[in-house]
């Protein structure tokens, strides 16, 4: 679909393209020596040989004067395709866009016809078109999933959480699917209890007056305080947009090594980098470390 404005732009761009082609042929091409490709040499020799055979008066006893080897070949701008470029805007004004009368769609059907059994081919052609469209959608979704999350590039940045939303999990479906699993019992409440003090800490750091800001009365920042029991109503302030959470398979981390150097590692539950060791935060635990293994679906 074209309008008068787009056709004017089309004419200007076509004119600029023509000027660029002439400048390229006059300046750039003269600076390089270009020769025929191997298949072009073979095609030229074969064509010339057929012409010699067609000349019956010279075919007997005559030797072909076809030049051997690769000949010089420059950019030829004296072609009909380049000459006809300037006619496209005018033709569109007179007859409409080229897809209205082009044989390209017919050519596509002819190519796909070879894939049918020649019987009831209309239904088969429609099925082939639907298959191609479905495969195209799959490729687009696959390409979207290949977007890599960024990794931390600053030593002072402890870790980074990906922002991609490629792998989503609906909380309602997740709870129904894993119903009866002891590990999922009160999962949403525990998740809210995990998130709430961290949201409060963000508000506290920003000196915000939001209602989630921790005070001396609620003790939300006290790790020994059970938020599930002491602040059940405040958990309702934690809302999940679209009732969804998003999974990330990679957690890059910067850490301090034993020799006080900056180290880098990543946690991925799909690889051998799924085991972690943490400092123990339990007072009644004599062992200084806690061990865990990250699991995934």
Q: In degrees, to the nearest 5, what angle opens at C-alpha 160 toward C-alphas 159 and 161?
A: 130
3-state SS, 109-173, equals HHHHHCCCCCCCHHHHHHHHHHHHHHHHHHHHHHHHHCCCCCCCCCCCCCECCCCCCCCEEEHHH
Give pTM, 2 decimals: 0.41
Mind listing the pLDDT tens digit of every residue in the chain (297 residues)?
Answer: 788 899 999 999 999 999 999 999 999 988 888 888 888 888 888 888 888 777 755 555 545 555 677 888 888 999 998 999 999 999 888 888 877 767 666 777 888 888 899 888 889 999 999 999 999 888 877 765 555 555 556 777 888 877 778 788 899 998 998 888 888 888 888 888 888 888 888 877 765 444 444 443 444 444 434 556 666 677 888 889 889 988 888 888 888 888 888 888 888 888 888 898 888 876 666 778 888 888 776
Q: What is the CA radius of gyration of the chain?
A: 35
Domain ranges of the chain: 4-102, 103-146, 168-246
- Answer yes or no: are the C-beta atoms of 98 and 2 closer than 8 Å: no
**Beta carbons of 273 and 265 less than 8 angstroms apart:** yes
């Amino acid at each position: 679909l074209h309008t008068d404005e787009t056709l004017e732009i089309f004419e200007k761009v076509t004119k600029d393209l023509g000027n660029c082609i002439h400048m390229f042929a006059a300046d750039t091409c003269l600076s390089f020596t270009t020769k025929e490709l191997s298949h072009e040499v073979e095609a030229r020799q074969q064509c010339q040989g057929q012409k010699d055979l067609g000349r019956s008066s010279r075919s007997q006893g005559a030797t072909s004067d076809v030049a051997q080897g690769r000949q010089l070949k420059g950019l030829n701008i004296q072609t009909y395709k380049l000459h006809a470029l300037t006619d496209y805007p005018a033709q569109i004004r007179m007859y409409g866009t080229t897809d209205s009368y082009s044989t390209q769609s017919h050519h596509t059907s002819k190519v796909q016809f070879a894939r049918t059994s020649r019987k009831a081919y209309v239904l088969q052609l429609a099925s082939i078109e639907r298959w191609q469209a479905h495969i195209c959608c799959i490729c687009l979704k696959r390409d979207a999933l290949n977007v890599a999350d960024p990794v931390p590039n600053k030593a002072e940045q402890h870790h980074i959480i990906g922002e991609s939303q490629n792998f989503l999990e609906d909380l309602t479906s997740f709870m129904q699917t894993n119903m009866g699993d002891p590990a999922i019992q009160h999962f949403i409440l525990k998740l809210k209890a995990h998130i709430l003090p961290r949201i409060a800490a963000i508000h506290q750091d920003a000196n915000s007056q939001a209602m989630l800001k921790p005070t001396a009365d609620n003790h939300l920042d006290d790790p020994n305080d059970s938020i599930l029991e002491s602040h059940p109503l405040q958990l309702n302030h934690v809302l999940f947009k679209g009732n969804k959470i998003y999974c990330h398979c990679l957690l890059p981390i910067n850490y301090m090594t034993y020799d006080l150097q900056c180290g880098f590692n990543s946690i991925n539950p799909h690889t051998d980098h799924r085991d972690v060791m943490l400092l123990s935060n339990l007072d009644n635990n004599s062992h200084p470390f806690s061990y865990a293994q990250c699991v995934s679906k």
